[in-house]
Amino acid sequence: MGTLEDKRALITGAASGIGRAVARLFAREGAAVVLADRDIVKGKAAAREIQEQGGRALFVACDVMRSDDCARAVEQTVKTFGGLDVVLNCAGIIVRRSVVDLDEADWDRVMNVNCKSVYLVSKFSVPVMQAGGRGGSIVNISSGWGLVGGPNAAAYCASKGAVVLLTKAMAIDFGRYNIRVNCLCPGDTDTPMLREEARQLGEEEKKFMAGAASRPLGRVGTPEEIAQAALFLACDASSYVTGAALVVDGGGLAGG
């Protein structure tokens, strides 16, 4: 389709899950993609796969909790592909604990990966988009639990709720530069992180996944389905959409 032809995209958390699916789809749609992740082995493999299929891809090792790493990822994008048009903040983790059971270190880690990283990557990306004169699109990955609370997930809910309002604040600040900022709020999606939740809760994986599928469409989502929604927010099809929180959850919040 080529809906991202001539666009340059930076995707965090791109070594697996939703981030990897986004990188694959964006490359197929014509974008040059930079995959940023801490997992060097999986990240390089994901970039190589895109290259072997004829896409333009670069892997950059990046710890999104570190300001210098985030700045370097943006710099490498500009150096390699000549600019930056699209940012997908996909990096995320979850710790399934209540505030009583949650260690302070885990609170800080979840908030830093899920929310502070959005601030850091955007801090360095927005000036590049402003200077380029073409505007841009920033898509942040929040969660259904960024809109409603969930059990034993205090830090995760707090971090994802913060992403929703950070998205709206950024949309207000940078709309005059034609920089659109939106977020996705996925429901349970079949990723390594979702299966990690079963382990943290001490539940049998098959039973946990069956429970996660309890929603109007009767199944969990796929990373590719979330990537399609990200594509809509990234491309010109959503040219009048900014400050939005798009729920993609198979109807999980429909009755909430």
Q: What is the set of active-site residues?
A: 156
Q: What beta strand segments (E) does the chain contain? A: 8-12, 32-37, 56-61, 86-89, 136-141, 179-186, 245-248
Cα angle vertex 179, ends 186, 10, to 5°?
60
- How many Å separate Cα 127 from the centre of its chain? 20
What is the Cα 150 distance to its own chain's centre?
A: 20
Which amino acid belongs to residue 42?
A: K
Q: Which one, of 113, 161, 128, lies nearest residue 12 by Cα?
A: 113
Q: How far apart are CA 14 and CA 22, in angstroms?
A: 8
147-177 burial code (b ≥16 CB/10 A, e <16)? beeeebbbbbbbbbbbbbebbbebbeebeeb
- Identify the H or E element spanning 129: helix 117-132
Q: By CB neighbour count within 10 A (0-12 exposed, 13-18 middle, 19+ buried), where does 82 fall?
A: exposed
